[in-house]
Amino acid sequence: MKDFDIEQYLPHLSIDCVIFGYQGKELKILIAKSRFGKRSWNLPGGYIRKTESIEKAASRILNEKTSLKKIYLEQFKVFGDKDRIVKSSLKKTLAQELHKFNPKIFTTKVIDWMTSRFVCIGYYALVDIQKVQPQVGDFDELLEWRSINDIPQMMHDHTEITLEALEALRQNFDQKLIGFNLLPDIFTMKELQELYEAVFERTFSNNNFQKKMLDLNVLVRLEKKYTGAQNKAPYLYQFNRKK
């Protein structure tokens, strides 16, 4: 572990990211299991350098976890309860373990800084899950993609943050045509429909869905996809980013 210089970062302000991916007809988020404290789950997050914008900070944090360069990112809410971190039951255990782990880095000063009050800016990210290579960070035991229907209990208010992110995602999904960020570059209409079904937790009828999507004028129809199955081969589509 490198040094951790609290002077580099804005105090009392953090970023937490809800990273959405899509796989096996399920909407998933990337969460981390902590190496410390009660080994509880938490959202990837980090601090803001004094020399970078909050958007840059969010990008950097995401890049550290996913090793992706360009990521679709959206700020969705600030969480600023006065007891957010301070009153957490984990605080004490965490502080002790961090100090024991590396007393040179985790001095009392650093631990006080880390466990002080934090206002947290919530971002959600949409990624092509195939392209992500999760990077286990210094504080993580492991990273895991978990279905939004199977989210474990998480640290602090991270469960609440996740639910708010999901709500914001649904709100923006149609309006901003952001769904394509969750898919590979090329996909079938069925796959796109299944993504929508996973996000909204409901079914759509195939013909009306197709009509709606094609009417948006953002899809380019490519050649057919012959899978070897004994049925009509579906067309492949690509998102037309120029529009």
56 binds, among a second copy, DNA, none (CB under 5 to 8 A by kind): a second copy
Contact in structure between 52 and 60 (CB atoms under 8 Å): yes
CA 91 to chain centre: 24
Task: Tell me if 163 contacts a second copy by CB under 8 A.
Answer: no
Residue 176 binds a second copy (CB under 8 A): no
Tell me, residue by residue from 119 to 138, as one string, x for binding to a second copy by CB under 8 A and - for no binding.
x-x-----------------
**Smallest separation (angstroms) from a second copy to the CB of 157:** 12
**All residues at 6 or more sequence positions from 201 whose CB lies less than 8 Å from its CB, including other chains:** none
Point out which span in 17-25, 48-56, 159-167, 227-235 binds a second copy (CB under 8 A). Answer: 48-56
Two structure tokens written together for 241: 């980013």
- Between CA 14 and CA 11 the distance in angstroms is 8
Convert residues 175-214 into a mask of x (bound to DNA by CB under 7 A) and - (unbound): -------------xxx--------------xxxx-xxx--
Q: Name residues contacting a second copy, limited to 54-113 (CB under 8 A).
A: 54-57, 75, 77-78, 80-82
- Write out the H or E segment, with its range, that includes residue 204: none
Q: What is the Cα 200 distance to its own chain's centre?
A: 17
Cα separation, 196 vs 226, whole angstroms: 24
Biggest alpha carbon–alpha carbon distance for the chain: 66
The residue ranges that bind a second copy (CB under 8 A) are: 10-13, 48, 50-57, 75, 77-78, 80-82, 117, 119, 121
